[in-house]
Amino acid sequence: MRKLLTIVTLLLAVFANAQVKIGDNPNTINANSLLELESTNKGFLPPRVVLNSLNAVAPLTGTVPAGMLVYSSGGTVADGYYFWDGSKWANVAQSNMVTKTANATLTPTETFVLASNSITLTLPVVTGADNGLTFTIKNIGIHTDQITVVGNGAATIDGGSNSKLTRWIARTYVAYGGNWIKKEKEVGTDNLFDVSTRGSWTSIAEIIDFLNLHMGGPSVVRLGGGVYPIDATQVIDLPYPLTIQGTSFGESVIEAATGLQNTPMFSCESEAYFKMLAFDATALPSYGTNAGEDAIHLVTAGEYFEIKDCNFDGFNKTIVAQSNIELWLFETDITNAVVSGVEVATGAANGVSVKISECDFTNCVKGINMLSGVNASVNILNCTFYNGAVGHIGINYVPATFTTFSTMFITNNAWNNVGAFFSGFDFTRSDGRDAKAFVQNNAGDGDKNPNCHINVLNSNVTTTLTTLNVWYKASWDYLLTTTTTTKWTITNAVGAGNVNRITYQPTNRRGGWFIISGNLSVNNSSRTISVGIVKNGASGTRFGETTIRTGTANTSQLFSTIVYISDIAPTDYFEIYCSSLNNGDVVKFQDVQWLAETK
């Protein structure tokens, strides 16, 4: 018996350390295998179980070692091979790839989806038992397609209601706690769209098409570095504001391409912003020489537009305001404009607003052309005009059609003394047509502050001072008077007896000073004559009053006075008055120099 037990023990030890092969060629076994299966017409059938939770070992019991392999069929989890990784069942099967072109709810086995068209895909219902279940969805459609992925029922995706996929974008969604999370870290801003050779959109036309269908809020289109041809006018008519910007100044170039002839690059009918872009008309031969070959048309009344940090080269008219829009243009270079860099051509539309600051206009036939408008508001500040020829004009104003403006500030600009800085303004008019234009501190041209000068020489016209201490308006011969004026009306400059009244035209208030000098004579000896400035005919108050004590009758006496008057208001007028301490004196203002200046 002892011998038998010894033999059995030895045999068991041998088999315990032996390699085992089942199936064909049982005597040929791989040296590295413990157990080998070989067959040309049979398969391996592992244990079949029903798994209803990936987080529980059931229906297995006890402590399950990591690596345990089963095939689940008929449970609440997707059918397939699963192994226990020490804490949960993990699916080892390959993804089941499907295509979707219409709205659908995915089944648990449709784990890899190629989608197209603008459709909504609903992920399956999941519970905490499904933690780790994954679905990958990729948009393989065209540039206008948008795939919307949603959870089933109240299930969220990264805390939100949906996830949107544009062309070529893929996301993997992982079940967790009855909801879904995205496997990939997604960094970005809502409604930010990148256009590049490797993006969901490769051209400006494609992203405009997409936004026409799917825009959900104010959006930013970011162009990557490189060239973006435009072969047809891009119409921006969207429900929300749109910003188109480059990655850095001059890196993103928008070029005219074949097909754009006789039409503009952009027609903006809704609020739009252009930033850090280069617009090039020269890429298309002869483009820019014909009417309509412009960069940007601003079309719709009441809309706001902004252009910043851009440069434009070679357009017919670069930027055209066609209605009572609001434009804010700054830090932009406009070069080689065939007709105009900026044109305001709003016709009878009321209330266009144009603000231009820190822009350079180089070799433009007209830098800024105020062609037509009513009740316009114009601000041109800190710009430089580098005219390229004698006929070029920095700022052109056409009063016959640009009929009125509510405000106009043209300050701190510069000009290279080629051609003309300004054209069309006339600040000498008695009707004050241009008086509201504030034109000041422009290098290359004098300030257009309100000022005037009256010069009387050898006048024989007299003023009778009937009653002592009563003030009378002074008279002199208009035929012997010369005048110059900017934004003051000099009354009766021709033919009505005298020119002794100046009226302030602008609508803004200013302080001003008056310098008056000359000589006068009195028909009687040893008289005391007072001279002063009267405002708005109220002779009870005089400004700069001075006294002349005469000697011999009819002998000229010098006089002068300087006075500062604050808060000069629109339509205020000023006249020179005089009085005597005696009745019946007759005064003759033979020579008068009257200078008015404001700041």
pLDDT at 113: 97
Residue 93 has pLDDT above 70, yes or no: no
pLDDT tens digit sequence for 357-408: 999 999 999 999 999 999 999 999 999 999 999 999 999 999 999 999 999 9
Of 102, 110, 87, whose CA–CA distance to 173 is shortest?
110
Which of 46-60, 103-117, 141-155, 461-475 has the weakest average pLDDT? 46-60
Grade residue 341 by pLDDT with cuts at 50, 70 and 90.
Answer: very high
Query: Which ranges in 95-216 belong to alpha helices (H)?
Result: 204-214
For the segment 239-265, the average pLDDT, to the nearest whole number, is 96
Give 171-186 pLDDT, tens digit per residue. Answer: 999 999 999 999 987 6
How many Cα neighbours within 13 Å face the side chain of 111? 17
pLDDT of 44: 78
Query: What value does the mean pLDDT of the chain take?
Result: 92
3-state percent breakdown (helix, strand, coil) of the chain, nearest 5:
5, 45, 50
Neighbours of 51 (CB within 10 A): 25
The arithmetic mean of pLDDT across residues 402-416, rounded, is 96
Rounded Cα distance between 468 and 584, Å, is: 8
- How much is the pLDDT for 10? 46
Q: Select 97-182's CATH number: 3.90.550, 1.10.3470, 2.60.120, 3.40.720.
A: 2.60.120
The arithmetic mean of pLDDT across residues 150-162, rounded, is: 95
Q: Please tell me the distance from the alpha carbon of residue 540 to that of residue 374, in angstroms, as a whole number.
A: 42
Give one DSSP letter per residue of 250-292, joined into a string: TTEEEEE-TT-TTS-SEEE-S-EEEES-EEESTTSTTTTSSTT
Residue 5 has pLDDT above 60, yes or no: no
pLDDT, position 90: 78
Return the pLDDT at 4.
47
Farthest CA pair distance, the chain: 173
pLDDT beyond 50 at 13: no
CATH number for the domain formed by residue range(s) 451-598: 2.60.120.40
The stretch 60-74 carries a mean pLDDT of 88
Q: Looking at the predicted structure, is the pLDDT value of residue 3 above 60?
A: no
3-state secondary structure of 80: strand
82 vs 218: which has the higher pLDDT: 218
Check pLDDT > 90 for residue 469: yes
Q: Is the pLDDT of residue 597 over 80?
A: yes
pLDDT more than 90, % of the chain: 77
For residues 507 and 434, give the distance between their C-alpha atoms in angstroms, rounded to a whole number.
11
- Return d(Cα 272, Cα 274) in angstroms, integer: 7
Beta bridge partners of 529: 548, 580
Residue-level pLDDT at 29: 84
pLDDT given at position 1 = 47
Give the strand pairing for 48-49 and 69-72. parallel
How many CB atoms neighbour CB 454 within 10 A? 24
Answer whether 97-182 and 451-598 agree in fold. Answer: yes
Residue 506 clears pLDDT 70, i.e. is over it: yes
Question: 141: pLDDT confidence band, cut at 50, 70 and 90?
Answer: very high
Residue of higher predicted confidence among 18 and 565: 565
The per-residue DSSP string of 312-335 comes to EES-SEEEEE-SS-EEEEES-EEE
Distance of alpha carbon 593 from alpha carbon 44, whole angstroms: 119
Q: Which residues contact 563 (CB under 8 A, 6 or more apart)?
A: 513, 514, 533, 543, 544
Q: Which residue has the higher pLDDT, 152 or 447?
A: 152
The confidence score (pLDDT) of residue 493 equals 46
For residue 484, the model assigns a pLDDT of 93
Of the ranges 56-60, 191-195, 283-287, 394-398, which one carries the lowest mean pLDDT score? 56-60
Task: Provide the pLDDT for residue 27.
Answer: 77
Cβ neighbours of 152 (radius 10 Å): 14
Chain segment 481-502, per-residue pLDDT in tens: 899 999 999 986 444 456 899 9
Q: How many angstroms separate the CA atoms of 433 and 410, rounded?
A: 16
* pLDDT at residue 432 in the model: 92
Instruction: Quickly state the pLDDT bin for 584 (edges 50, 70, 90).
Output: very high
Mean pLDDT throughout 218-237?
97
Nearest to 338 by CA among 310, 366, 311, 359: 366
Burial class (CB in 10 A: 0-12, 13-18, 19+), 567: exposed
> In the 3-class helix/strand/coil scheme, how is 218-234 assigned residue by residue?
CEEEEECCEEEEECCCE
Answer whether 269's CB lies under 8 Å from 241's CB.
no
The residue to which tokens 């999370």 are assigned:
181
Q: What phi and psi, each to the nearest 5 degrees, are found at residue 575?
A: -140, 155
SS3 category, 484: strand
Give tens-digit pLDDT for 29-51. 877 777 778 787 877 788 999 98
Would you say residue 23 has pLDDT above 60? Answer: yes
Q: Per-domain residue ranges for the chain?
A: 2-38, 97-182, 316-443, 451-598
Position 95 scores a pLDDT of 59
Using alpha carbons, list the distances in angstroms from residue 326 to 270, 276, 282, 294, 351.
Answer: 12, 20, 28, 19, 9
- Whether the CB-CB separation of 441 and 411 falls below 8 Å is answered with yes
What's the predicted TM-score (pTM) here?
0.80
